[in-house]
Amino acid sequence: MDIILVRHGKTEGNLFRRYSGRTDEPLCREGVEHAKASGADQTVPRVYVSPMRRALETARIKFPNAAQTVCPDLREMDFGDFEGKTADELQNDADYTKWVESNCTLPCPNGEQMDAFADRICRAFDGIVRESIENNDNRLVVVAHGGSIMAILSRYGRPERQYYDWYVDNCCGYRARLDGAAWETEPVLSDCEKFETLP
């Protein structure tokens, strides 16, 4: 099965480098234009998508003929007290300093912790994969968030890499392959390759 993981287009929060997890903002004008310019695939029949507006809008632009299956647990990490702020605005915040020094693995105050977030994302992805295998799909497309994609690939992606090594820009993503017959015993995404535009 072919796997396509796409990060949503740019938002105002992305432009100002804010921590935007639970904030449900739309694509900004630049984000819409970039999503349109970076290619669309009219042959995809179904897209699994985060419930956040930025993901839903990106999916409509890049996969205009696809039915959207909304998966609530594909949403981005909840940054708690850091939500909506930039690193510069948080530089004197002791909790933020501790969080960054932990490589962002400590819980965000009043938000999520990295491992719990990754477990949520990967449970959702595993369910999507199993549904696609049952439906005999030959292609699985997910439109979500940078953190969501990094969580999926840091667990299942091959060659193996750390979480932040799978970073991808807005409207870009990864292609990979999945062996449906082996998923139960060896859940991996092979031949992972970053892309900037759809064919």
In the residue annotation, 145 being an active-site residue is answered as no
Residue 63 is predicted with a pLDDT of 98
Residue 14 annotated as lining a ligand binding site? yes
Residue 127 is predicted with a pLDDT of 98
Residue 184 annotated as lining a ligand binding site? no
In the residue annotation, 112 being an active-site residue is answered as no
Question: Distance between CA atoms of 28 and 154, rounded to whole angstroms?
Answer: 29
Q: Which of 5, 11, 55 is nearest to 198 (CA)?
A: 5
User: Could you say which of 76, 83, 112, 145 is catalytic?
Assistant: 76
Categorize the per-residue pLDDT at 198 as very low, low, confident or very high, splitting at 50, 70 and 90.
confident
Which domains are present in the chain? 2-195 (3.40.50.1240)
Question: Distance between CA atoms of 189 and 126, rounded to whole angstroms?
Answer: 12
Q: Each residue of 124-151: pLDDT tens digit? A: 999 999 999 999 999 999 999 999 999 9
Q: Each residue of 162-189: pLDDT tens digit? A: 999 999 999 999 999 999 999 999 999 9
Distances, alpha carbon 94 to alpha carbons 18, 103, 175, in Å: 18, 15, 39
Q: Would you state the torsion angle of the CA atoms of residues 52, 26, 171, 59, taken in this order, to the nearest 10 degrees?
A: 60
Q: Is the pTM of this model over 0.85?
A: yes
Examine the pLDDT at 199 and tell me if it is beyond 90: no
Q: Each residue of 38-82: pLDDT tens digit? A: 999 999 999 999 999 999 999 999 999 999 999 999 999 999 999
In which order are the strands placed within the sheet that holds 139-144?
A: 67-70, 46-49, 139-144, 2-7, 173-177, 190-195
Asked if residues 28 and 10 have their Cβ atoms less than 8 Å apart, the reply is yes
Residue 1 is predicted with a pLDDT of 97
Residue 8 annotated as lining a ligand binding site? yes
Residue 18 annotated as lining a ligand binding site? no
Q: Each residue of 104-116: pLDDT tens digit? A: 999 999 999 999 9
Mean pLDDT of the chain: 97
Across the range 20-41, mean pLDDT stands at 96
